[in-house]
């Protein structure tokens, strides 16, 4: 697949966990590392502080929100599965081609074109680190690519039977998305070395006590799932014996310094 004339990229910001700087820095990282012009969208209930070039999508209250919430209570996953709203066909006006989605607790560190062109027609996600160790196929949801025109079943099947679908996925959005795509024969894993985990790939125990975290050579995205998050890792972090991090210089460069140089101090 050739790179589209415009790359569509989306994220969700809801609640108070992440401020607008997370969205702005993600936007900067994407546009600095994509060859095509970028259309960047953020689904949110609070657009205050977002860079003016970011297109805002209203965070919806889905018609199936109540039964989904009941199922999430049983799975002890209240508040999860908001990304399902991004999969609704027709959500993004004038969309042509796939959408590359990111969680906000990621940092762009390398070229992204291959994430848009990998396995045309498929949903793509990296194999989840923990699930892979346990021999399970679940993808990781921090980086995902999909096409609402092709993969509308990701929205439609949950909307049609939310309690059963959430229960089958045990409340896990990434399990629902990856397994549903696998069931439909349209799933491909992102190569493991393209998407790195700060915890597992950059800063594993016990080397985290000897040197600062290392950026893998081929990493295009670094995920900060769990702890530490990016501000903690930049400053240095001591959450537990194995979750220790020396201050991380390359992270400050990629996430803060380059964003400020790109967008200006107000937005970076």
Q: Is the pLDDT of residue 220 over 60?
A: yes
Q: Is the pTM of this model over 0.75?
A: yes
190 strand-pairing partners: 126
pLDDT (mean) for 188-195: 98
Distance CA 165, CA 120 (A): 26
Q: Per residue in 83-104, is it b (16+ CB within 10 Å) or e — as a string?
A: bbbbbbbebbeebebbbbbbbb
Residue with tokens 């939310």: 162
Distance CA 52, CA 73 (A): 37
Beta strand pairing call for 237-238 and 221-223: unpaired
- pLDDT tens-digit map of 67-108: 888 877 876 665 568 899 999 999 999 998 999 999 999 999
Mean of the per-residue pLDDT values of the chain = 94
Domains annotated on the chain, with CATH: 7-191 (3.90.550.10), 196-263 (no CATH)
């Amino acid at each position: 697949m050739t790179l589209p004339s415009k790359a569509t990229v989306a994220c969700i910001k809801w609640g108070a966990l992440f401020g607008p700087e997370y969205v702005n820095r993600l936007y900067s990282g994407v546009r600095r590392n994509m060859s095509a012009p970028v259309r960047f969208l953020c689904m949110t209930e609070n657009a205050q502080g977002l860079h003016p070039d970011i297109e805002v999508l209203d965070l919806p209250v889905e018609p199936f929100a109540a039964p989904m919430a009941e199922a999430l209570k049983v799975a002890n996953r209240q508040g999860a599965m908001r990304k399902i709203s991004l999969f609704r066909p027709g959500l993004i006006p004038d969309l042509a081609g796939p959408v590359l989605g990111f969680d906000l607790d990621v940092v762009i560190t390398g070229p992204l074109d291959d994430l848009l062109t990998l396995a045309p027609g498929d949903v793509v996600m990296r194999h989840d680190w923990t699930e892979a160790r346990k021999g399970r196929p679940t993808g990781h949801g921090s980086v995902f690519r999909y096409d609402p025109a092709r993969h509308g079943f990701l929205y439609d099947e949950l909307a049609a039977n939310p309690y059963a679908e959430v229960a089958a996925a045990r409340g896990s959005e990434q399990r629902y998305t990856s397994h549903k795509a696998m069931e439909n024969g349209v799933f491909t894993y992102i190569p493991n070395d393209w998407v790195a985990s700060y915890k597992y790939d950059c800063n594993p125990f016990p080397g985290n006590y000897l040197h600062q975290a290392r950026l893998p050579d081929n990493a295009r995205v670094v995920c900060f799932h769990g702890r530490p998050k990016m501000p903690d890792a930049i400053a240095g972090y001591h959450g537990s014996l194995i979750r220790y991090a020396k201050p991380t210089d390359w992270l400050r460069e990629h996430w803060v310094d380059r964003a400020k140089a790109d967008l200006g101090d107000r937005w970076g």
